[in-house]
Amino acid sequence: MASSAMETCISEDLHMQVDIEKKAQDIRSQWVLNAPEPPSPWRVVADSVSKTISHYKHKLSSLTDQPCTTLLLSVLRVIFPILAWGRNYTATKFRKDLLAGLTIASLCIPQSIGYATLAHLDPQYGLYTSVVPPLIYAVMGTSREIAIGPVAVVSLLLSSMMVKLVDPATDPVGYTKLILLATLFAGIFQTSFGLFRLGFLVDLLSHAAIVGFVAGAAIVIGLQQLKGLLGITHFTTKTDIVSVMKAVWEAVHNPWSPRNFILGCSFLVFILTTRFLGKRKKKLFWLASISPLVSVVVSTLIVFLTRADKNGVKIVKHVKGGLNPSSLHQLDFNNPYIGEVAKIGLVVAVVALTESIAVGRSFASIKGYQLDGNKEMMSIGLTNIIGSFTSCYVATGSFSRTAVNYAAGCETLVSNIVMAITVLISLQFLTKLLYYTPTAILASVILSALPGLIDVSEAYKIWKVDKIDFLACAGAFFGVLFASVEIGLLVAVLISFSKIILISIRPGTETLGKIPGTDLFCDVYQYPMAVKIPGVMIIRVKSALLCFANANFVRERIIKWVTEEESEDDKGNSRSTIQLVILDTSNLVNIDTSGITALEELHKSLSSQGKQLAIANPRWQVIHKLKVSNFVGKIGGRVFLTVEEAVGCKSRC
């Protein structure tokens, strides 16, 4: 009797525990079902605007109690960061910045002249672009190491797109006007990106696309320099490798002077040798920095003393000196190509920002500080807007000059000011000395900077990590190489977007099993030790959105998996019949009407086979829409907080 009474008590305790657990699960299910409604899109926008306004109100209120002078200084420090860090500027920092500024100026002068010729502009425009933009950026920029000025990729991009509108050989004045107008548009777009916090637009060019694009552009730039290296007078304006090689082939079969080639190659070897020594011995970095300027000076003296220009050596000839002239009168807004120029400005703005921000963030991470992307976009944009008024074309952060600036020990943006003043002095007093500078030397200076743009190791890393990313990299590379610069960019962007669309349309799904000794449910393919629950199939969709693009694919994949699970034969024994299908929606952030329809069709299909459907761990946007569409009622309210609780409902199904 006592034994029977004890068994009865134990049985009652077990039933009581089951009832308590069941009630607890029901309560937790109600937590999920009674989640607050998500805010409407209008509410999200209104809240965002309200927070932004309150943020600025808080800032203003904290400033209103201060004296007018302090208030004015606070506003000016936000606009001009130089007023903030300039208070702690010391003589020691100035000595370092002075050395760094003179070092990058020695590299900047020959590069600027070369990049101007690459953009099909007169040499002085490259020097102009190395004066005003660095000065503007020095007072508005947030990076400490970036060296601002013309760069090879942007110069090529401008020329390759602009020559389709105006031929610089037949109408150099009209071509220059369009370049200045494109610079203004680029600056306006860049400033707008920063002002409206649209930095994500820069990210449309993925890292892989940039690697491929820059490598392809480097080869195209190198091929373009064959004109100067070989002393070719008539050369194609096209940038694809086929057109360039055809032009070179035709040129070498006509009379040409090998002196240009010998002179250019000799100094190219000299520059590359000094760069190699600078990398081997860090203390000799200055040798690599001044070698381009030394090459220009020595080669100019050689040509002047030997009168080699009379024997076929091509020279720069006249370089207009003096301060940056105003170019406001050259900005023609009634130009018939205004729409095309605006498009070119947009493309150039994105590419220039991408390069500048990438360079700035790289060196900021080394120095251990954060770069404000939106402020950078605004400062670069205003730099180009003001630059377009002062005879400058698009300027941005240069990787090669920034690397030299960093290696030279720069402390602040004063190095940019020193560089700009040095270039300005050169414009004022030394341009006449550039008359006999051979064009082959400018070509060799540009060629010497190109190896750093071709990052084979990074391309190999992309191949190892992500094959589709490598496809975008290769698409950009071959697009630039065999078509044009803009086609290469377009191909890279299209491949990147195709990757996103492909992942969205065909999202992965995984079957979950329970890890022994834990409450965790994980992918059985990733964790072979995970045990499947008999009679239960747990599926997780690896997508943040179940929508019209992927809903039917997910539904068909789940039905197929359930069918295959039941039809598979393990060691001659059929597996147990699936009674319950649990859909883990923890990854789903949102769902649309097509996704709900697909779930309803899935429920009908499973119900016709005597199976039940349960939902585990839905987000509030998802559960709200499932409730509104009455889907929760159709599946009998089987919505659970966790997968484990959903598994526990099998006995009640």
- 423-462: per-residue pLDDT in tens? 999 999 989 889 999 999 999 999 998 888 899 999 999 9
**Binning pLDDT at 50, 70 and 90, where does residue 247 land?**
confident
Q: Per residue in 356-404, pLDDT tens?
A: 988 888 788 778 888 888 889 999 999 999 999 999 999 999 888 998 8
**Binning pLDDT at 50, 70 and 90, where does residue 13 land?**
low
Closest CA to 81 of 365, 414, 347, 516: 414
Q: Per residue in 512-530, pLDDT tens?
A: 999 998 889 999 999 999 9
Residue 210 has pLDDT above 90, yes or no: no
Q: Per residue in 156-196, pLDDT tens?
A: 999 999 999 999 989 999 999 999 999 999 999 999 998 88
Q: Per residue in 307-361, pLDDT tens?
A: 999 888 999 988 898 989 999 999 989 989 999 999 999 999 999 998 898 888 8
Closest CA to 186 of 155, 165, 209, 220: 155
First vs last C-alpha separation in the chain: 37
Helices 41-64, 68-79: crossing angle, 10 deg rounding: 130
Residue 570: the pLDDT is: 47
**Residue 588, exposed/middle/buried by CB under 10 A (0-12, 13-18, 19+)?**
buried
Residue 4: the pLDDT is: 56
Pick 542 or 39 by higher pLDDT: 542
Residue 610 has pLDDT above 50, yes or no: yes
Torsion angle (degrees, nearest 10) of CA 453, 344, 167, 483: 50
Residue 22: the pLDDT is: 62
Residue 235: the pLDDT is: 81
**Can you spell out the DSSP letters for 182-225?**
HHHHHHHHHHHHHHTT-GGGGGGS-HHHHHHHHHHHHHHHHHHT
Q: Per residue in 37-84, pLDDT tens?
A: 777 778 777 776 777 677 666 666 665 666 777 767 777 887 899 988
332: its two tokens: 């023609």
Q: Per residue in 565-606, pLDDT tens?
A: 877 644 445 455 889 999 999 999 999 999 999 999 999 999
Pick 72 or 493 by higher pLDDT: 493
Q: Where are the alpha helices (DSSP H) in 307-372?
A: 338-367
**Strand ranges in 404-515 using DSSP code E only, listed in sequence order:** 508-514
**Residue 28, exposed/middle/buried by CB under 10 A (0-12, 13-18, 19+)?**
middle
Counting residues of the chain whose pLDDT is more than 70, the rounded percentage is 91
Residue 258 has pLDDT above 70, yes or no: yes
Residue 236: the pLDDT is: 81
Q: Looking at residues 275-302, what average pLDDT do you find?
A: 89
Pick 337 or 486 by higher pLDDT: 337
**Residue 94, exposed/middle/buried by CB under 10 A (0-12, 13-18, 19+)?**
middle
Residue 572: the pLDDT is: 46
Q: Which single residue is written with the structure tokens 């008999």?
A: 534
Domains annotated on the chain, with CATH: 89-210+258-455 (no CATH), 507-649 (3.30.750.24)
Question: Residue 396 corresponds to which amino acid?
Answer: T
**Residue 212, exposed/middle/buried by CB under 10 A (0-12, 13-18, 19+)?**
buried
